[in-house]
Structures are given as C-alpha cells and as structure tokens.
Amino acid sequence: MTSAPPKIQIRNLHKAFGSNRVLQGLDLDIEVGESVVIIGGSGTGKSVLLKCILGLLTPDQGSIKVDGVEVVRMKENEREELLRQFGMLFQGGALFDSLRVWENVAFGLIQAHGMARKEAKKVALEKLASVGLDARVAELNPAELSGGMKKRVGLARAIAGSPNIIFFDEPTTGLDPIMGSIIDRLIVHCVKELQVTALSITHDMASARRIADRMAMLYEGKIIWDGPVADIDKADNPYVDQFIRGKAEGPIKMQVRQP
C-alpha cells in the first residue's frame, strides 16, 4: 500500500438527466503522473464524467476526490483555486470566438495567473508552435480556422497554464493521421516529462494505445474493465473485445435499425 492518495479518486458516481441515467455508480482511480484513457461507445457519458470532475455538472450522488480532497459541491473560491491546476480540452473546442487565437491560448495565463499580456503572448506562440500552428494563425479569429486547427488551438489553450492534471476530450478527432501522432507525442511528453496526470477520452484505438498507461472502458454508467494498456488485447471481457475490434456483432447492442 503506497502512502500517496490517488490524484483523482472517484467513488459510486451517479448522474442522471431526467430519466436518462448516464452514470450509475462509477468508480475510478488515477495515480499521480499516470495517463488514463477512457473508451466507450458514443453517448455513454464520457464527456459527462469529465464535466463532473471539473465541477461543470454536479453529480447526483457519489464522491470525487482530487489529491484526497472532496471536490463535489466545493465552495466557489476553492474550486477556482483547484481549476488553476487543471487544463481542459473540450470536445467541440469551445474557443472564445470574440478573441483571436493567441488571446484564446493566453487567456488563462492573463486572467487566472496574472501574467502580463506581452509575456503571455510569447508563451501562447510557443504553445501554438508545439501543436504545429504558426504566428500567422495566432492572429486569426477562431471562425477562420478549420476543424482540426480549432482542436489544436484548444489543446494549446489546455496546456498553456502548465496544469497538473489535463483532461482531453477526443484530442485527435478530426486530425489527419500524421498530426494525430504528433499530438499523441505531445500528450506523452506532457505526462512523462512534465509529470502531469492525464485523463483522456478517445475513440481512436491507435491513439489510445500510444498515449495510455491504462485504459478504462465505460459501459452503462460503470467502468466495466480497466487495466494496463498491454493487457487490453488479452482482456477476458466480451464488451472490451467487441469495442477494440470494432465488431458490429457482440454483447454491445447499438440502437440502430438494420437495413
């Protein structure tokens, strides 16, 4: 038994929207400096889980501890303090469209960390360069970017404040395969070199294998399997097996009408 508490500890988490019970008693531990990837079908509640951890949604029941401290229903100013050490990439990018690209990336530095604009711009340009975007792009508005470019700006914004924990909601969706692996490498760099803890969501199994230390599969509101990434092919679980091989036949029934 190690003495350090897990970076994030989730117990018996429940969240429903009306009659739609999305999370139904989810448990998950994430150790310091570990990269965990959550896989699972579309609409199973992966994004909802991230939003619960961030406090954007309040769970109906259950506990979420970060560094051993309960964060569900945390006080407003304590949460602000906590969020300073988080970085989040939203599935849809969620870039501020009234601000230019570099201002988006520098936003947290200026507002939350009190950095001077000039210095923050320098950092922003560096972060943008690390996701393959140059100074010309930095001056554009988010509306002028392609989908993949938006994603990368969102990534740059998420890591700009040197967070301790990063949350990536589908970091490589919409990117070409080469840019996808560059981004994967960036995430691995953050985790390995900067000692960051990462929780990512992805549907891209190749990417998941590259960035994960551990994978967890979400199904019907619970984590039904989790383990080291090397074990996933040997996982003796028909759900996992069907998912990672992307087979239409199996225990997971998608709600579609057969043609």
Partner 1 sequence: MAILDALALLGRTFLKFLEATGRLALFVGRALSRAWRPPFYFRAVGQQMIDIGYYSLPIVGLTAIFAGMVLALQSNIGLARFEAESQIPEIIAFSITRELGPVLAGLMVAGRIGASMAAEIGTMRVTEQIDALVTLATDPFKYLVFPRLLAGIVTLPLLVLVADVIGIFGGFVVSVQSFEFNPANFISKVWDYLVIDDVIDGMVKSSVFGFIVTLMGCYQGFYSRGGAEGVGRATTNAVVTASILILVADYFLSALMFN
Q: What angle do CA 83, 31, 74 make, to 5 degrees?
A: 30
Return the range that interacts with Mg ion (CB under 5 A); candidates 80-88, 91-99, 142-150, 184-192: 91-99
Using CA atoms, how far apart are residues 234 and 236, in angstroms rounded to an integer?
A: 6
Does residue 255 bind ligand ATP (CB under 6 A)? Answer: no
Shortest spacing between CB 10 and ligand ATP, in angstroms: 15
88 binds, among ligand ATP, partner 1, Mg ion, none (CB under 5 to 8 A by kind): partner 1
Shortest spacing between CB 171 and ligand ATP, in angstroms: 13
Judged by beta carbon, residue 161 or residue 180, the one nearer partner 1 is: 161
Using CA atoms, how far apart are residues 90 and 107, in angstroms rounded to an integer?
A: 15
Residues in region 18-77 near ligand ATP by CB under 6 A? 20, 22, 42-48
Does residue 202 bind Mg ion (CB under 5 A)? Answer: no
Shortest spacing between CB 143 and partner 1, in angstroms: 11
Tell me whether residue 30 is exposed, middle or buried, using C-beta atoms within 10 angstroms of its C-beta: 0 to 12, 13 to 18, 19 or more: buried
Q: List phi, psi (to 5°) of 124.
A: -60, -45
Identity of the amino acid at 25 = G
Does residue 96 bind partner 1 (CB under 8 A)? Answer: yes
Rounded to whole angstroms, the maximal C-alpha distance in the chain is 59
Beta bridge mates, 21? 16
Interface with ligand ATP (CB under 6 A) = 17, 20, 22, 42-48, 91
